[in-house]
Amino acid sequence: MLIDIHAHLWEGKFEENKREILKACEYYDIDRVYISSLGGQYPTEEEISLLNLETYRFMCEAQGRIGGFCYLNPRHSGCIDVLKKGIEDYGMSGMKLWIATYCDDPRVYPLIEKCIDYQIPIIVHAFHKAVGQLDCESLGVHVANLASKYPEAKIIMAHLGANCYREIKCIKNLKNVSVDISGSIFRRDD
C-alpha cells in the first residue's frame, strides 16, 4: 500500500487542488493521501472552520482515498474544541501544526496531550531556510523540544525539516519522531 501522509488543499484553490491530488493518486498508484487545508499564517477561527470543513468534504467525496489531519491555530482559546470536532465528528486521523506558533510553544501543550489521549499523530511543519524564515516557523530544535517533553506523542517532522543535514540531527535519537519528505530538497522539480 502506498500512502502520502502530507498534502494540502490551499484556501482559494480547493477544487484545483482536489483534482491535482486525485490525478497524482492515479498516476503514481497512491492508495491513500492524508491532507490538511491551509490558508494564511495566522488563520482566524472562521478560516479554521472553513478549512477543516473543506478537508472533511474531500474525505467524503473521495470515498476512503483521502484522510484528514485537523488543522488549528493554537493561539485560539477554542482550539481543543476544534481538534475534538475534527477527530470525533469529521473522522480525521491526526493534527496538523503549521506556522501560527512554534510547535514547542506552551499553547500547544494541551493539544499534544489531547492527541496523546486520542493516540493520533501530529504532523509539524518544520522548515529551515537560509533566508526568509517565517515568524514561528518551527525548526528541528523545536520539534526535539516538543518530542522530549512528550515522549508518548507521535510526531511527524514534515519536509525533513527542509535542511535535512541540519534538522535531522536534532531529532535523530528521538524514538517518537518520524519524518516525511514532502516539499523537501529531495523532490524539487516533481
Q: What are the C-alpha distances in Å from 160 to residues 16, 39, 155, 183, 186?
A: 26, 22, 12, 9, 9
Tell me which H or E stretch contains 184. none
Grid cell listed for 128: 529551515
The per-residue pLDDT for range 98-136, each reduced to its tens digit, is: 889 999 999 999 999 999 999 999 999 886 666 766 678
Q: Which residues of the chain have pLDDT under 50?
A: 187-190
Task: Tell me what the pLDDT averaged over the chain comes to.
Answer: 90
**Cα–Cα distance measured from residue 8 to residue 31, given in angstroms and rounded to the nearest whole number:** 16
Which domains, and CATH codes, for the chain? 3-187 (3.20.20.140)
pLDDT score for 101? 94
pLDDT score for 190? 43
**Cα–Cα distance measured from residue 24 to residue 189, given in angstroms and rounded to the nearest whole number:** 15
Nearest one of 106, 107, 158 to 137, comparing CA atoms: 158
pLDDT score for 133? 66
pLDDT score for 129? 60
